[in-house]
Amino acid sequence: MYIKRNISWGIIMRFAWKNLLFFIIYAGVIFSFYHFLEWKHIDIPFQPLSVIGIAVAFYIGFKNSQSYDRFWEGRKIWGGIVNYSRTWANNVLSFVENDRAAQVTLIYRHIAWINALRIQLRQPNSFSKKENRAVERMFDRHGERNPVCSGFELLLDPKEVADLEERKNVATHLIKNQGLHLKQLLAEEKITEFDKQVFHNNLEEMYNLQGKCERIKNTPFPRQYAYFSTVFTWIFVLLVPFGLLNVFESQLAALEQGNNWWHMILMIFFSVLISWIFTTMEKVGSNSEDPFEGRINDVPMTALCKTIEIDLRDMLDEESLPEKTKPIHNILY
């Protein structure tokens, strides 16, 4: 997640340079054909292009709005994970009688769960986004790829870790183990039936939160909506220079009489500008479609996991708390 108010032009260029270069060359070629080769018939009227442009802008608007919702839903779910982590710890401290070890285990297993969930969500899948090389390199450098159970040895009993490593979905089984642990605590009369009921409501909530993350992760933004947004945008921007030939016509007449270099540049500049605005609008949404990939605009799960861990250990009155995650180049992961 980018956490400065303004995005530096360096980052914008890193994403945009390839397209910009293409637009300049593309518009340059078309205008050259028109002007130098005198292909006067290749212009197309701008009026229908306006209609396409407006229709495409709507379509992008719809898509951006839905993509934003996906990001924001992802962020809300992780907000819910923060909240229920605190509630879980609070309940453990308030309900479990005279058994510090059990309290610590229940809370540590919870910390294992949030980390397992995070790592599971960070795995790439068949519809992951690919940017140009410059961008990908940046994420590779910043990125984090761990096996799901990494670090569990500090949190859980070795036998439990060994069992978890065999499982298809580790996070699911961590919650199940909480349930079995509670069963045992009830048998030992360290919690009451009332407490069990409250605890299991929390576990239900955690399965809901986990499942909601997995839903967003495993369901791409419906490809027919997303892909045609890109296709329509590109059709529009590829037609723009032809249309500009038409509306610049009166100026182009002047072109015949001398100061051509200026109009040439003005038209190319204008063409590139429109193209850049539309493709950027379109990209802005694409970048928050999949909010759990560990990219520039994604939910900062590493930082959130660390925050939860600090909070929970502080609630256990531990002494040496870990440090907060720091942003790298203004990006929080």
* DSSP string over 98-157: S-HHHHHHHHHHHHHHHHHHHHHHHS--TT-----HHHHHHHHHH-----TTTTGGGTS-
**257 in contact with a second copy (CB under 8 A):** no
**94 in contact with a second copy (CB under 8 A):** yes
Considering the complex, what minimum distance in angstroms separates the CB of residue 241 from a second copy? 11
Q: What is the DSSP letter of 295?
A: S
Q: Site residues for a second copy, window 274-293 (CB under 8 A)?
A: 274, 277-278, 280-281, 284, 287-288
- Whole-number Å distance between alpha carbons of 178 and 210: 15
Binds a second copy (CB under 8 A): choice among 147, 208, 328, 329: 208
**262 in contact with a second copy (CB under 8 A):** yes
Under 8 Å CB-to-CB from 53, ≥6 apart: which residues?
236, 278
CA dihedral 39, 40, 44, 47 (to 10 degrees): 160
The upper half-sphere exposure of residue 2, i.e. CA atoms within 13 Å in the direction of its Cβ, equals 12
Considering the complex, what minimum distance in angstroms separates the CB of residue 256 from a second copy? 13
Considering the complex, what minimum distance in angstroms separates the CB of residue 286 from a second copy? 10
**200 in contact with a second copy (CB under 8 A):** yes
Query: Given the complex with a second copy, which of 36 and 261 has the nearer CB atom?
Result: 261
**59 in contact with a second copy (CB under 8 A):** yes
Binds a second copy (CB under 8 A): choice among 13, 162, 169, 188: 169
Tokens 């759990």 found at: 292
Task: State the burial class of residue 16 (Cβ atoms within 10 Å of its Cβ: 0-12, 13-18, 19+).
Answer: middle
How many residues at the interface with a second copy, by CB under 8 A? 123
CB atoms within 10 A of CB 17: 12
**2 in contact with a second copy (CB under 8 A):** yes
- Whole-number Å distance between alpha carbons of 20 and 184: 64
Q: Site residues for a second copy, window 170-199 (CB under 8 A)?
A: 172-173, 175-176, 179-180, 182-183, 192-194, 196-198
CA dihedral 189, 194, 196, 201 (to 10 degrees): -170
**53 in contact with a second copy (CB under 8 A):** yes
**325 in contact with a second copy (CB under 8 A):** no
Considering the complex, what minimum distance in angstroms separates the CB of residue 115 from a second copy? 19
Binds a second copy (CB under 8 A): choice among 29, 32, 143, 227: 227
